[in-house]
Amino acid sequence: MRIITWNINSVRLRIGLVERVLAEYQPDILCLQETKTPDEHFPLEAIRAAGYKHVHFQGMKSYNGLAIIARVPFETPEKHDRVGRADCRHISASFEHFDLHNLYIPAGGDEPDPMINDKFKHKLDFVEEITDWFGAHYTPDKPVIAVGDFNIAPHEHDVWSHKQLLKVVSHTPPELERLDAMRRSLDWIDTARHFVPEDEKAYSWWSYRNRDWKKSNRGRRLDHIWVTQPLKAKLKSYSAPTSLRDVEKPSDHVPVILDLDLAS
């Protein structure tokens, strides 16, 4: 089974890129974040025309929004509000071999101080709440997958400069501590670092502000696929291909791809 997570940064604007990914990479499941469209305008017909009949989505105008797009059936699609806000940041569904959670953790604004920046407080509160929620709803022996734009680059080589970004939102100690607590809550496996050694750079996002993103290569690994321990033996391969960062009007994120051998 192939699972892709991708912050699309407007599904209607980039539906052509979504169709390209579905055709080129043939995922069984594609999870999108930042769809940025209310449900009535979600491009459902185009996605179903591409052969993906099973779709669960939740969106709002201009901001946030998520989708689970699958060619295999799922059950119990759910939408979850977090920290008292109905802002389309967590949806889930149950597949035959695992439960899947698609997350869009808040970006957190610019100032890494929850006392003066409500966006940063929202981010920290969100991660704390989802950590507690996973711990209350699952045990580590249950097969679960969490994907999405976590907006946190947890390791030294998940950012272009660990030293320079320690005071920049997405790589600050309060965020790293909370994300690590989330990881430990179910003994999650960060699949990127299962395949890519921690001393190697690994990115999934490059800012639009970089005129030549490839030359400057000031990336961060914000997009994640985590699995619980029962799925560890089934992990087959991981990649984050950069070709779609080079197209006209790209997302600033690239797709993150995980292959699993569920027959093993």
Give pLDDT tens digits for 198-227.
999 999 999 999 889 999 999 999 999 999
Helical axes 118-137 vs 173-185, angle rounded to 10°: 10
CA triplet 196, 241, 191: central angle to 5 degrees? 35
With CA atoms as reference, report the closest residue to 82 among 192, 182, 224, 231: 182
Scanning 89-160, the segments in alpha helix (DSSP H) are 118-137
Question: What values do phi and psi take at 256, rounded to 5?
Answer: -110, 130
pLDDT of the residue at 210:
86
Residue carrying the six token digits 């390209």: 20
Q: Identify the helix (H) or strand (E) that includes residue 59.
A: none
Q: How far apart are CA 109 and CA 123, in angstroms?
A: 9
How high is the pLDDT of residue 211?
83
Provide the 10 A C-beta neighbour count for residue 236: 13
Q: Give the three-class secondary structure for 80.
A: coil
- Residues 89 and 82 sit within 8 Å (Cβ to Cβ): yes
User: Hey, what domains does the chain have and what are their CATH numbers?
Assistant: 2-260 (3.60.10.10)
**Strand, helix or coil at 77?**
strand
Residue 124 has pLDDT above 90, yes or no: yes
Express each pLDDT in 37-71 by its tens digit: 999 999 999 999 999 999 999 999 999 999 999 99
What pLDDT shows up at residue 226? 98
pLDDT tens digits, one per residue of 140-151? 999 999 999 999
* Confidence category of residue 264, pLDDT binned at 50, 70, 90: confident
Pairing of strands 99-104, 144-149: parallel
Interval 240-257 mean pLDDT: 96
Helices (H), 63-185: 118-137, 162-165, 173-185
| CA-wise closest residue to 98 among 258, 256, 254, 241 | 258
